Amino acid sequence: MVKGIGASPGIVVGKVLVKKEEEIKIAKKTIDSSETEVSNLKSAIEKSRTQIQALYDIALVKMGEEEAKIFEAHQMVLDDPEVFGQVENKINNEKINAEYAIEQVVAPFIKMFDMMEDEYLKERAADLKDVAGRVTKNLLGIDMVDFSNLDSKVVIVANDLTPSDTAAMDKEMVLGFVTEIGGRTSHSAIMARTLEIPAVVGTGNVLSQVVTGDMIAFNGDEGVIFVNPNEEKIAEFNAERVKYDAFRTRLSTLVGKESVSKDGVHVELAANIGTPEDLDSVLRNDAQGVGLYRSEFLYMDRESLPTEEEQFEAYRKVVAGLEGKPVVIRTLDIGGDKKLDYLPLPEEMNPFLGYRAIRLCLDRDDIFRTQLRALLRASAFGNLKVMFPMISSVEELRDAKTIVEEERVKLREEGIAFDEKMEIGIMVEIPATAIIADLLAKEVDFFSIGTNDLIQYTTAVDRMNEKIAHLYNPCHPALLRLVNMVIQAGHKEGIWVGMCGEVAGDPRLIPVLLGMGLDEFSMSPISVLNARWIIAQLSQEEMKIVAETAMNLPTASEVEAYLANTIQLED
């Protein structure tokens, strides 16, 4: 058993095809005729050009223009005078072999880009490696692994896969893949999800344990891999696979359908996202909007605050991409366990009770105003709503709204367009906020309940602390009561109430939330269709009684047992 990172869901059982990373040994050789060597180089470049063009065509059809662009970038590298132009010069001037010249020219670029913090430039280093490797192999007549032309169904195991590898994969023949390096957001993982090929990445050393032809089985959600599993394990995986495939097929029939209960109550099933790149999976899983866009990711992994323009671009992309569907963007939620290198915060005894989120933004209104301007400007491009995190009092809400109003006035004076009716709401994640929800509801357009923090603050349990993790339970009657209070308080003032914590996508609690009258459920994109399936089987009238009963049970375990016995869902 090998543990990796689940990168793309699905159950896989099949025969291994190892992609060998043959270390090409390149030695310096003196050549007789630089003319012949240059002509060899040129034909290798032309051969590469044809291959890259073919990959572009495949990618365009299978994955669309955005994903195919990477091969346009490869063509540009091929035409780059400072890369292959220099290689040619080196061959002529130093009378050396072409492959050695390539290595000499390319290595400094790769080293330089690899050292940079910038993700975009790191990817260009990967492009350069990919292209240089391709030309070198064409020069030496080494066959390249071609996943577009497999004659039997396989599970690919590799140290890493290049964009050229993944683009060529045929979903019919590639059952899944496993890579030794990479994380959930590495290129190969993203491609696996786009292509809907189950995958596990970041397994560490696994190539020493498998050879082509071995059996392998894995679950792309869990990231656990079994090499040469016994008959029993294979049967187990096969049964799971059949079940899983039927499940996904059934869910795919729900794409384009409404989210409506058995008794005709419509709810909104939205998605939680971190970056504009998640847009694709939001649309693929047919979410009806974005219920939580965590803007803090824009601020992470960089050396300075993002500019208004950069933020505007990111927000606009998501808002425009959803074509009028609602997008709730949470303003900067930093502090607590989320830190920024370029914004040093003082060490605190209790960071979760400290200087974070809206507290920081109201103190550093320069940061806050830049973000609000970007948000307001992006609001002109679709249905954007702004949400403040960690509001604990009416005063904070009023202060934040005053700043929004001041920025609106400035934009109007500058003649810059924005949505005058943009909704403003708050996260409800602090018990104090839930308790005064009736007062807050008079001053906002919506609530979104953040259950992760609400449970933590309500029960005084740090969920990272293993010793007390068992006390962190969303079925705690206190949480159910608070959630219900917030929903009813919101409805009394005529505003909509959503939820964007883990609980919103929890199949056990969806019935209770439906019964309480929750309007919007926001969850990981992958959970949306399953939630639609569950809701279609439930009647809100019946769930009202279930919610009422659950809230009045004394313990979380009794709530769990009651729900398990009462709610019978087809699975």
Binding footprint of other proteins on the chain (CB under 8 A)? 73, 76-77, 79-83, 85, 109, 112-113, 118, 120-121, 124, 128, 307, 309-310, 313
Residues with active-site annotation: 187, 500
Residue 98, number of CB atoms within 10 A of its CB = 28
Greatest Cα-to-Cα distance within the chain, rounded to the nearest angstrom? 90
Q: Strand pairing partners for 338?
A: 335
SS (H, E, C) 75-113: HHHHCCHHHHHHHHHHHHHHCECHHHHHHHHHHHHHHHH
Give me the least distance between CB of 68 and other proteins, in Å please.
14
Give 56 or 109: the residue with its C-beta nearer to other proteins.
109
Contact between residue 167 and residue 63 where contact means Cβ atoms under 8 Å apart: yes
Distance CA 453, CA 450 (A): 6
Give me the least distance between CB of 80 and other proteins, in Å please.
5
> Which helix H or strand E contains 316, and what residues bound it?
helix 308-321
Distance CA 307, CA 471 (A): 42
Give the helix, strand, coil percentages of the chain, each rounded to 5.
55, 15, 35
Give me the least distance between CB of 226 and other proteins, in Å please.
41
Q: Strand pairing partners for 15?
A: 215
Helix (H, G, I), strand (E, B) or coil at 290: strand
Give me the least distance between CB of 308 and other proteins, in Å please.
9
Placement of tokens 């630089």 in the chain: 34
Give me the least distance between CB of 109 and other proteins, in Å please.
5
Contact between residue 386 and residue 445 where contact means Cβ atoms under 8 Å apart: no
Burial (Cβ within 10 Å: 0-12, 13-18, ≥19) of residue 10: buried
SS (H, E, C) 205-233: CCCCCCCCCCEEEEECCCCEEEECCCHHH
Q: Strand pairing partners for 328?
A: 385
Give me the least distance between CB of 85 and other proteins, in Å please.
8
> Which helix H or strand E contains 360, and what residues bound it?
helix 357-363
Placement of tokens 């970041």 in the chain: 202
Give me the least distance between CB of 113 and other proteins, in Å please.
8
